[in-house]
Every structure is written in structure tokens, then in C-alpha cells.
Chain A
Amino acid sequence: MAPLEDELRSALRRREPSPDFTERVLARVAAQLVRRQPRVSQPWVRWVAGIAAALLLSAGGLEYRHYRGEQAKDQLLLAVRIAGSKLNKAQRKVQMVTHRSNS
């Protein structure tokens, strides 16, 4: 029985906290208060966030539109180049034949 009593006494013995205990507890409480502060919910913040999101979306859309436009332009130039070269070839051959028959 005695060893058990000794163990209990040792475990429940009064201990003095460290000198900075109060400061540490207060600092931790302050930090938790800062973390738990409610989000700013003023209407203007929501408006600004909404406008910023809309601007970002529009910028992305414009960028994509520009990319598609440049792609279509390249295709158009390629098509005109091919069509023109074939027509040009036919025209030159006709001119060559006409020139031969005239001389």
C-alpha cells in the first residue's frame, strides 16, 4: 500500500509553474483570438472581389478569342496562298502557250 501512496503523492505534488507561464498562456490566447476574427464582410469587399473575378474571366475569354482569331487568320492566309498559287500556275501556263502560238 505504501508504494502506491508514495506514487500518488509524487504525482499530485504541487509544482510551481515556470516564470513565463502566464505570458505564454496570454500570448496563445491572443493568437487564437486573431485567428478567429470574423471575415470582413463589408459589401464593397464583395463587389471588388466580384469585379476582379469578372475581369479575370473576361481577360481569359479575350485571350482565347485572340488565339482562335490568329489561328483562323493563319488558315485563311494558307488557303489563299494555295488557291492563288494554283490559279497563278494555270494562268502562267496559258500565257506560255499563248506566247508560243503567237511567236
Chain B
Amino acid sequence: MKALGLLTASLVLAGALPAQQVKWNFDKLAARASDTVDVSLSGSLLQFAVKFLSDTDKDQAKVKKLVGGLKGIYVKTFEFKKPGEYSAADVESFRAPLHPPEWERIVGVHSTEDGENVEVYIKSDAKGIGGLAIIATEPKELTLVNIVGAIDLDALSELGGQFGIPEGLEVDKKK
């Protein structure tokens, strides 16, 4: 009886727990990177930012619609002065928390031509996609994205070539 109560409590707690961001450790890379972009928008801050998006600006209105129901967006980009500043083991450490059955890799693109690799992981829940993680590596750049909450992948991809940036060009970097 006691065990049943404990199990019920655990299940209730598990249901009540909010969707969480992926735990990645960036300490080693941060020390080696020459430039870093760090965006961390969780819960209330994200919804606060959404309120400042314009309804009249076409792109911002799309973003508003896309991220309105999200619980968090976390982006980290490391840029290095020369290739080889990060190792395969570093990348593997970022893959480690993205394991099945919680996470599923839906795309893995490896290019020997330009050395660009992109891996896309999704977290499924009862309602569909409950989270997204992207590991993108280039010889001198490593980007990690974690979106918590239901996200429309096509709409997000569509926004990738917008904001006045032609497709194929690199995004801005903040030092």
C-alpha cells in the first residue's frame, strides 16, 4: 500500500515537472573559443520577449506565432580561431544527454566537402514534438540549440533564411 502511494506520488510529480532544458557543460569549450554567442531565454523571460515582438512586422509576427507556446530557447555558438580547437569527444559529450527513448535523432548530415555537420534531435511527448536539440559543427564553429516546448520545424527552418540574411550567409556573431 505504501509502495503504491509512493509510486502514485512519483507519477504525479513526474507529470507536474516542467519540461527541462538539456544539461550541457560548456566550460571546456568556452575557455578555448575566440567568440561566443550565448542566448538563454527561459519561461517568463521568453514570454516577456514575445510581448515586444511586433504584429505588423511580417518576420516578427511569424516568430511570435512560432515561439508563443515555448518554455525556453537556449543557443550557444562557439567560434574558434583555427580548426581542431574542439575534439570529437567534446561533440560526443553534447550528444550524451540526447539519448533514446526520450530523444530521437531525426536528421544527421555529414559533409566531407565543407566539414559541416548538423544533427537534429527531437523529444516526443503525448502531444507531439516537445523539444528540439541541434548540434551543428563546422571546422571553426560549434553551435548548440535547445528549444523546450512544441515547435513547428518547418516554420523554424523557413525563418532561418529570413531577417534580411540571404541563405548561405553566416549569422552575426556577438563577442
List A residues at the B interface (Cβ < 8 Å): 68-70, 72-73, 75-94
> In the assembled complex, which residues on chain B have CB atoms less than 8 Å from the CB atom of A75?
39, 41, 49
Dominant SS at the B interface?
mixed
Sample of 6 further A-B pairs with CB below 8 A, known A70-B52, A91-B157: A72-B48, A73-B52, A77-B163, A79-B39, A81-B171, A87-B156
A94 touches B49 (CB 8 A): no
B63 touches A85 (CB 8 A): no
Give the tally of cross-chain contacts (CB within 8 A). Answer: 117
Q: Out of A69, A79, A80, A88, name the residue touching B161 (CB < 8 Å).
A: A88
- Contacts known (A72-B41, A75-B49, A85-B161); A93 close to B143, Cβ less than 8 A: no
B145 touches A82 (CB 8 A): yes
> In the assembled complex, which residues on chain B have CB atoms less than 8 Å from the CB atom of A92?
167
List B residues at the A interface (Cβ < 8 Å): 37, 39, 41, 45-46, 48-53, 60, 63, 66-67, 73-75, 77, 107, 109, 111, 116, 118, 120, 132, 134, 136, 143, 145, 147, 153, 156-163, 165, 167, 171-172, 174
Q: Out of A73, A87, A88, A93, name the residue touching B111 (CB < 8 Å).
A: A93
> In the assembled complex, which residues on chain B have CB atoms less than 8 Å from the CB atom of A76?
39, 41, 46, 49-50, 53, 63, 67, 73
> In the assembled complex, which residues on chain B have CB atoms less than 8 Å from the CB atom of A69?
48-49, 51-52
Q: How many Å lie between the Cα of A80 and that of B160 in the bound state?
A: 7
Q: How many Å lie between the Cα of A84 and that of B154 in the bound state?
A: 9
Q: List 16 A-B contacts (CB under 8 A).
A: A69-B51, A73-B52, A76-B67, A77-B60, A77-B63, A77-B163, A81-B165, A81-B171, A83-B147, A83-B156, A84-B158, A84-B160, A86-B136, A86-B160, A87-B134, A90-B120
